[in-house]
Structure 1
Amino acid sequence: MRDCLQQETQTLLQMSQVSRISSVFFGGGTPSLAQPSTVTAVLETVSKHAHLSDHTEVTLEVNPAPTGRAPLKDFVAAGVNRLSIGVQSLNEANLKVLGRDHNSQQALQTVLEAKTLCPGQVSIDVMFGIPGQSVSSWESELEEVLCMCDDHISLYQLTLERGTQLFKQVQHSQLSMPSDEDTAKMYTSARKILKKAGFLQYEVSNFARNNAVSTHNIGYWKAQQYIGIGPGAHGRFIPRALGGVYREARTQTLEPDVWMREVQQHRHATRRRIQLSQLGLLEEVLVMGLRMTEGICHQHWTAFSPEGNLHQVFGASTDVQELQQKGFLILDDGGLRCSWNGLALLDSILPVLLLQLETFFHTPRSAMLNTTADRQRDR
């Protein structure tokens, strides 16, 4: 596996126009069950084919597990400088419902160890909307989390995955999910509790204090290029062969055994390559950018959309104007972003904006620009 990871890393870096790496993220599955030497090997390969400074953020996802994991200090010695821990819950009943193989004490021990090794660079994941969870029990649990966390917290609402044991239990009424109203209250109260504790919300699910934001995730939300290595990995980058114009979406083979065989045969295991259209790329810029509290600034949008700026694309839409009047969306000299209340409704706001973006691209440009100019004169 290690040799294959090195080979695919080398090949995809050589295929891309990426020359400088701002972050490396070992995630998906349980990468902390790998050997620290694998982390070392991958980082060494990256540094041979792209610039990797001593200050580059290198994150490792960790699940608190009783056995099968190398000491975290060995991963730090291998080059990891940020740890993301899947605590999920400090409630034993919730952990059992989620099917986790760790208990709250093991989670606490893992977080304490991580904070000792990477002070200020430890993130924990916490989940809400769990069967049997109430708003008050969630608030109490979050207060407990604040007593042990470092400077970064990610909050995720539980999503039922078809085919899982939990999905079947809910489907057969053995467990009941909190109502949509209660989960909305959980999210709102969490934002208030975290703000009071000094955490700044910088994305829909992410909160940080002391500027301990995730460089890697910000790269996703700002539509930067990234390369996905390993079974089932996804990437978005500009291949050298395309001359620096078009970005490709790449997906690596999912099954580990098949992935290894393909890497050994072809030096990489790219299963699917899709050249993103201009509209497809802008859809990603829009969807990911609006997840951030700062939204999308004009300069960032124009870098991807020379055809039309934010005002030209969205300003003339009556639906967008209605969202602004209701106080959910802001389009001004700073760019396009959701308000505090709007961020909680992002899933219902995005379809409106995506439809307007598609309309702009399928409307003759002169007609669209004339309409925008007419509206500006009417004001």
Structure 2
Amino acid sequence: MIILCIGLCNLAQIMAGIYIHIPFCRQACHYCDFHFSTNLTRMEEMVQAIGKEIVDRKEYLSEPIETIYFGGGTPSLLTFDQIKFILNAIERSHSISSEAEITLEANPEDLSSEKASQFFNAGINRLSIGIQTFDEAKLKWMNRIHDTNESLAAIKNVRNAGFQNISLDLIYAIPDHSLNKWQSDLEQIIELNPEHVSLYGLTIEDKTVFGKWEHENKLIQVPEDEAAAQYLLAIDLLKENDYLQYEVSNFGKEGYYSKHNNAYWSGVPYLGVGPGAHSFDGEHTRRFNVSNNAKYLKALQGDDIHFSENEVLSNKQRLNEMILTQLRTKKGLNLKAFEKSSGQALVKRHHRFLEEIAHQNLVEISNDFLRLKPRGFLVADEIALRLFLPE
């Protein structure tokens, strides 16, 4: 398989990833617009269907599997047997690297001592835990189930279970959550000493409770300058404590960058299974599974392959995607490789724009790489859009 790669895909042997979407949650967070159901009655049926899809689509990837990622939804609702069933399906269908990163997203309330040990013994070697904040009032406001004590207990439990690679999620730009409170959240995270930290600015999506509240003028988003101040403070504090920012939202200690995240940004092929999951063949084709649990289950039970649809990317779309994804990373966009692949000299084409944003301390160009600076990360998508090749 030939992969159109610019700058980031320098692997001696191309690897691949598998993403498993577990579309269930105990309750809906007020900000979430991912595909999930709070009706858990068909969970076992869904696990069986996901296992079947993995086997049915075994020809989609020919490369060894380097990353496996259980996302959702709330994958920590799965039992030991359900995780083993899915991993066994992957083992029967694919070649898995001996150093594969196997991540499971988890909520603190699910990480009892017993459950943490079960996850570890099932073969999970990395946990991504949704802490979000340590402010009790804001946890309730976001409709999170857990409280601060459960967060602290969960991290203790997973360490005792043997996990040596954990990532903690925090949300910034929460209304009425001051810079001081945000700093307190960051300091608490640093004290817990995870290997990886992910930061997400609160976004208000239309089909959510927060979207409804905003429409009714019951919620006002944090002003951009306040959100920027929180983000830049996080960059500084995490850097001071040996967390390297390797992507817009992600920080890791040396040797603990997320392999799965890096695969997405590098154009590596991946198979997405479960309702709402996406796949990419590493070349020009994406595949989208139906975001409907009942339709997905009916299709898999009836051997119907029409539970997904394909999108074929043009060369220009693929190249624009490379601009978008690589600019999000610490390494940046490889200008020479991009010009060789596209025939476009971006620096020459966008000289005035790049000079302007360099003067604003948003970007830098060195060693033939265009890199965003911390303030540039705040407007990464806008910069990428200005650099896109016209269709």
Calculate the TM-score normalised by the size of structure 2: 0.82
- Is 2:47 the counterpart of 1:2? yes
- Structure 1 residue 47: Cα displacement: 2.1
- Structure 1 residue 298: Cα displacement: 4.9
- Structure 1 residue 267: Cα displacement: 5.8
Counterpart contact for 2:289–2:309, Cα < 8 Å: yes
Q: 1:339 aligns with which of 358, 373, 378?
A: 373
Whole-Å separation in 1 of the counterparts to 2:51 and 2:342? 40
Q: Which amino acid aligns with 1:77?
A: N
Q: 1:316 aligns with which of 349, 355, 370?
A: 349
What are the superposed Cα offsets for residues 16-55 of structure 1, whole Å, 9 maximum, x if unpaired? 2432111000001001112222221222222223220232
Describe the shift of the 1:298–1:66 C-alpha distance in structure 2 as closer, same or farther (beyond 3 A).
Answer: closer
Q: Say which is worse superposed, 172-181 or 45-54, in terms of deviation.
A: 172-181
- Structure 1 residue 78: Cα displacement: 1.2
Q: Tell me which residue corresponds to 1:328.
A: 362
Q: 1:182 aligns with which of 201, 226, 234?
A: 226
Describe the shift of the 1:37–1:314 C-alpha distance in structure 2 as closer, same or farther (beyond 3 A).
Answer: farther
Q: Tell me which residue corresponds to 2:30.
A: none
Residue 54 of structure 1: SS of its match in structure 2?
strand
Residue 156 of structure 1: SS of its match in structure 2?
strand
Q: Tell me which residue corresponds to 1:44.
A: 88
Counterpart contact for 2:107–2:129, Cα < 8 Å: yes
Describe the shift of the 1:180–1:307 C-alpha distance in structure 2 as closer, same or farther (beyond 3 A).
Answer: closer
State the superposition RMSD in angstroms.
2.3
Query: When you count helix as a share of all residues, which structure comes out higher?
Result: 1
Whole-Å separation in 2 of the counterparts to 1:147 and 1:340? 23
User: Which structure 2 residues correspond to residues 115-134 of structure 1 after superposition, within 5 A?
Assistant: 115-134=159-178
- Is 2:124 the counterpart of 1:80? yes
- Is 2:352 the counterpart of 1:307? no
What are the superposed Cα offsets for residues 327-346 of structure 1, whole Å, 9 maximum, x if unpaired? 32233434222123322221
User: Which structure 2 residues correspond to residues 278-297 of structure 1 after superposition, within 5 A?
Assistant: 278-297=315-334
Q: Tell me which residue corresponds to 1:253.
A: 290
Whole-Å separation in 1 of the counterparts to 2:81 and 2:321? 35
Q: Tell me which residue corresponds to 1:376.
A: none
Counterpart contact for 1:57–1:216, Cα < 8 Å: yes
Q: Which amino acid aligns with 1:323?
A: I
Counterpart contact for 2:61–2:271, Cα < 8 Å: no
Q: Which amino acid aligns with 1:353?
A: L
Residue 46 of structure 1: SS of its match in structure 2?
helix
Describe the shift of the 1:307–1:289 C-alpha distance in structure 2 as closer, same or farther (beyond 3 A).
Answer: closer
Whole-Å separation in 2 of the counterparts to 1:104 and 1:179? 27
Q: Tell me which residue corresponds to 1:211.
A: 255
Structure 1: unaligned runs, 5 residues or longer: 239-245, 363-379
Counterpart contact for 2:273–2:289, Cα < 8 Å: yes
Whole-Å separation in 2 of the counterparts to 1:329 and 1:323? 6
Q: Return the index of the structure with the highest Cα Rg.
A: 1
Whole-Å separation in 2 of the counterparts to 1:23 and 1:228? 12
Q: Which amino acid aligns with 2:380?
A: L
Counterpart contact for 2:111–2:158, Cα < 8 Å: no
Counterpart contact for 2:335–2:369, Cα < 8 Å: yes
Describe the shift of the 1:34–1:299 C-alpha distance in structure 2 as closer, same or farther (beyond 3 A).
Answer: farther
Describe the shift of the 1:280–1:224 C-alpha distance in structure 2 as closer, same or farther (beyond 3 A).
Answer: same
Q: Say which is worse superposed, 151-160 or 175-184, in terms of deviation.
A: 175-184
Work out the percentage of aligned pairs sharing the same amino acid.
28
- Structure 1 residue 290: Cα displacement: 0.9
Q: Say which is worse superposed, 29-38 or 332-341, in terms of deviation.
A: 332-341
Describe the shift of the 1:102–1:158 C-alpha distance in structure 2 as closer, same or farther (beyond 3 A).
Answer: same
Whole-Å separation in 1 of the counterparts to 2:155 and 2:220? 30
User: Which structure 2 residues correspond to residues 1-379 of structure 1 after superposition, within 5 A?
Assistant: 1-14=46-59, 16-65=60-109, 71-237=115-281, 246-266=283-303, 268=305, 270-298=307-335, 301=338, 306-308=341-343, 312-317=345-350, 318-354=352-388, 357-358=389-390
Whole-Å separation in 1 of the counterparts to 2:107 and 2:75? 9
Calculate the TM-score normalised by the size of structure 1: 0.84
Describe the shift of the 1:281–1:70 C-alpha distance in structure 2 as closer, same or farther (beyond 3 A).
Answer: farther
Whole-Å separation in 2 of the counterparts to 1:299 and 1:69? 51
Counterpart contact for 2:76–2:110, Cα < 8 Å: no
What are the superposed Cα offsets for residues 236-286 of structure 1, whole Å, 9 maximum, x if unpaired? 115xxxxxxx52111111111210110122365542111111111112211
Aligned residues: 345
Q: Tell me which residue corresponds to 2:24.
A: none
Q: Tell me which residue corresponds to 2:13.
A: none
Residue 109 of structure 2: SS of its match in structure 1?
coil
Whole-Å separation in 2 of the counterparts to 1:67 and 1:118? 13
Whole-Å separation in 2 of the counterparts to 1:156 and 1:350? 19
Whole-Å separation in 2 of the counterparts to 1:164 and 1:351? 27
Q: Larger relative contact order (C-alpha < 8 A, sep ≥ 6)?
A: 2
Whole-Å separation in 1 of the counterparts to 2:114 and 2:202? 29
